[in-house]
Amino acid sequence: MITMMSLIKVGLPAYAQVFFEATILFANMDVFSGESFFEKNFVFMETDPLNERFEQMGMDSKNFIMNSGSYFILLLLIYVSFYGKRFVNWVCTKYPEHWWVRWIAILVHEKKERPIEMVKASAKLFQEAYFDILMANMLGLLGIRHAYVVG
């Protein structure tokens, strides 16, 4: 929330601007480099930033996926982890006669691994990234509106 304060067009003292620039650096930290992954694997329409304040915040376009960072990558990892463990456990129950299969089953089996745990993990990720997703969604809607009006 504090980092988003710099989006408001008000005069800021110099030390406050330095503080916001430092917090923006940490707020925009992307562990999985989601933006570069999406740029390499998908083609998006080029859009301009909403204004210079959003550009300073690292939101260089109005594209929702590009502005969301690694959110979708992390969500995919949660689902792959959950269903991957279930699949490996299912395969291991089909071939229990091998000692190494039983060993793998012991490693991947978790008693609490139920669909509700996957829902809780994805809900926690959503709650932690809510404000960023909200800003990315707003910029995406403004980009669609701009494309529709301009033409």
CB burial readout 113-136, b (16+ within 10 A) else e: eeeeebeebeeebeeebeebbebb
Interval 88-108: pLDDT, tens? 888 888 888 888 888 888 888
Interval 64-79: pLDDT, tens? 777 777 888 888 888 8
The pLDDT value recorded for residue 113 is: 60
Domain assignments of the chain as residue spans, ordered by start: 3-150
Interval 33-52: pLDDT, tens? 777 788 888 887 777 777 77
Interval 117-135: pLDDT, tens? 777 888 887 777 776 777 7
How far apart CA 23 and CA 17 sit, in angstroms, is 10
Quick check: 5 pLDDT over 60?
no
How far apart CA 128 and CA 151 sit, in angstroms, is 36
Interval 15-38: pLDDT, tens? 777 776 777 666 666 777 777 788
Q: What is the 3-state secondary structure (H, E, C) of the chain?
A: CCHHHHHCCCCCCHHHHHHHHHHHHHHCCCCCCHHHHHHHHCCCCCCCCCCHHHHHCCCCCCCHHHHCCCHHHHHHHHHHHHHHHHHHHHHHHHCCCCHHHHHHHHHHCCCCCCHHHHHHHHHHHHHHCHHHHHHHHHHHHHHHHHHHHHC
Specify the higher pLDDT residue, 104 or 9. Answer: 104
